[in-house]
């Protein structure tokens, strides 16, 4: 077995796809410490700069001091605390839903909820955008359901698939991200809501990269386009901490408590994380200025990259892909940027489709316009070399 493992790693390395772990530490002012150097940070998902916010750290520490380091059990045994229920009530108010559930992570939520939903009916079909996150693919693989992928952000292709297949099934689930994690573009939620209603389909929306950044009060794109039956989001990106949530109806919450293996068989979220969640929910709704600044940085970055002839894949968010194509080019550009004091790391297959290796530029509201200009200058230098 070890020989096969070595061969597998060798094949990955030959394709310029082998990864390694390297320590780093978020710093203030949109910076990050790595290998003893302070770099401009264009790779982290700390979109609003809350990961180092003193209120999150203080409340996390307070919850840990008062309630301990761990929850002690799964939610259905003795792991549910008054603090879990209080945070869930706040999430429901934030998202405008009847109810909410705290989950361990976005990956766990997607991988666990989707099979639970599919198993509710004897014959279920899933219709998912082809560029949904790996965790959604994992959930689809684990579901007892037929899975149909529609062309990315193509409502007409989804409509075609439903017209061809929907009547064969007892239940239908449509799954999308609201902001796509690798392309930075947005789903047409109004169109998806209409299609879901027309075909009596449940709509599942992953708001991991929209939560905190987009929508009224940072409540995500579903806040401006209500209608989804299940909305999953995370506290690990713009919200500055860790963990995930599901916003849904009381009926759906009750079902997931009873049928979602990821929730049932996992130890409950520890107190410190609940404290950070509670603090983030205090701060984020009032960060309109930071959200506006983040949007301006995105426009500046896209304009500069498009002016150099780079494809940014229709990005309209704080995630701006710089597509270069071959893995070797992405690695070379990433190394060039590191040498220029900029952490903007390469993304390669299988995370993105073959031939679309890229630098995924993730903006933080703690960056300044001059920082974006510096990054653009370094990219232009690489392109001209």
How far apart, in Å, are the Cα atoms of 132 and each of 50, 153, 227, 247?
26, 10, 19, 19
Give the other-Cβ count within 10 Å of 315's Cβ: 25
Tell how strand 244-248 and strand 319-325 pair up: unpaired
d(CA 313, CA 352): 12
Task: Let me know: does 336 contact 308? Beta carbons within 8 Å.
Answer: no
Report residue 370 as tokens: 């001059």
Backbone angles phi, psi at 34, to 5 degrees: -150, 130
133 counts as catalytic: yes
Name 373's Cβ contacts closer than 8 Å, sequence gap at least 6.
300, 304
Residue 245, H or E segment: strand 244-248
- Token pair recorded at residue 196: 């879901």
Does residue 144 have an active-site annotation?
no
Active site residue 177: yes
Q: Which of 38, 45, 62, 311 is catalytic?
A: 45
For residue 44 the two structure tokens come to: 């982290």
Catalytic residue among 53, 84, 95, 133: 133
Question: Of 105, 177, 111, which Cα lies nearest the Cα of 141?
Answer: 111
Q: Provide, for the chain, the percentages of residues in helix, strand and coil under a 3-state DSSP scheme, each rounded to the nearest 5.
A: 45, 20, 35
Query: Of residues 237, 290, 317, 327, which has the active-site annotation?
Result: 237
206 as an active site residue: the answer is yes
- Please give the Cα distance from 235 to 129 (Å, whole number): 23
Please report how the helices 155-165 and 189-198 are oriented relative to each other, as an axis angle in degrees rounded to 10: 10
Identify whether 3 is a catalytic site residue: no
Could you say which of 41, 46, 83, 177 is catalytic?
A: 177
The residue from 46, 83, 206, 290 that is catalytic is 206
Catalytic residue among 110, 181, 193, 357: 181
Residue with token string 């959604």: 136
Determine which one of 53, 137, 209, 336 is catalytic.
Answer: 209
Beta strands in 48-161, from DSSP E residues, in sequence order? 99-103, 124-129, 145-150
Q: Is 181 a catalytic residue?
A: yes
The catalytic site residues sit at 45, 133, 177, 181, 206, 209, 237
């Amino acid at each position: 077995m070890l020989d096969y493992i070595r061969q597998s790693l060798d094949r990955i390395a030959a394709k310029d796809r082998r990864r390694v772990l390297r320590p780093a530490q978020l710093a203030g002012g949109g910076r990050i410490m790595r290998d003893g150097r302070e770099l401009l940070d264009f790779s982290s998902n700390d979109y609003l700069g809350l990961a180092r916010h003193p209120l999150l750290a203080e409340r996390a520490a307070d919850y840990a001091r008062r309630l301990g380091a761990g929850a002690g059990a799964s939610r259905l045994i003795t792991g549910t605390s008054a603090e879990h229920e209080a945070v869930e009530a706040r999430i429901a108010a934030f998202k405008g839903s009847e109810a909410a559930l705290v989950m361990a992570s976005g990956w766990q939520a997607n991988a666990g909820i989707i099979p639970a939903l599919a198993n509710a009916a004897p014959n279920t079909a899933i219709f998912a955008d082809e560029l949904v996150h790996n965790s959604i693919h994992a959930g689809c693989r684990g579901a007892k359901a037929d899975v149909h992928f529609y062309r990315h952000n193509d409502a007409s292709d989804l409509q075609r698939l439903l017209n061809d297949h929907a009547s064969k099934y007892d239940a239908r689930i449509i799954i999308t991200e609201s902001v796509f994690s690798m392309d930075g573009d947005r789903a047409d939620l109004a169109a998806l809501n209409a299609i879901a209603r027309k075909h009596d389909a449940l709509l599942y929306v992953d708001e991991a990269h929209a939560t905190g950044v987009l929508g009224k009060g940072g409540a995500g794109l579903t806040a401006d386009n209500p209608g989804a039956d299940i909305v999953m989001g995370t506290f690990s990106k713009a919200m500055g901490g860790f963990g995930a949530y599901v916003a849904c109806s009381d009926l759906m919450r009750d079902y997931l408590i009873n049928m979602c293996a990821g929730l049932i068989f996992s130890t409950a979220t520890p107190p410190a994380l609940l404290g950070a969640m509670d603090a983030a929910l205090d701060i984020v709704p009032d960060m309109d200025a930071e959200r506006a600044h983040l949007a301006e940085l995105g426009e500046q970055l896209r304009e500069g990259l498009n002016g150099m002839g780079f494809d940014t894949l229709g990005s309209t968010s704080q995630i701006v892909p710089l597509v270069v194509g071959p893995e070797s080019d992405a690695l070379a550009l990433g190394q060039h940027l590191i040498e220029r004091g900029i952490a903007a790391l390469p993304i390669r297959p299988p995370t993105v489709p073959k031939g679309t290796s890229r630098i995924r530029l993730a903006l933080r509201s703690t960056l300044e316009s001059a920082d974006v200009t510096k990054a653009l200058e370094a990219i232009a230098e690489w392109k001209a070399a």
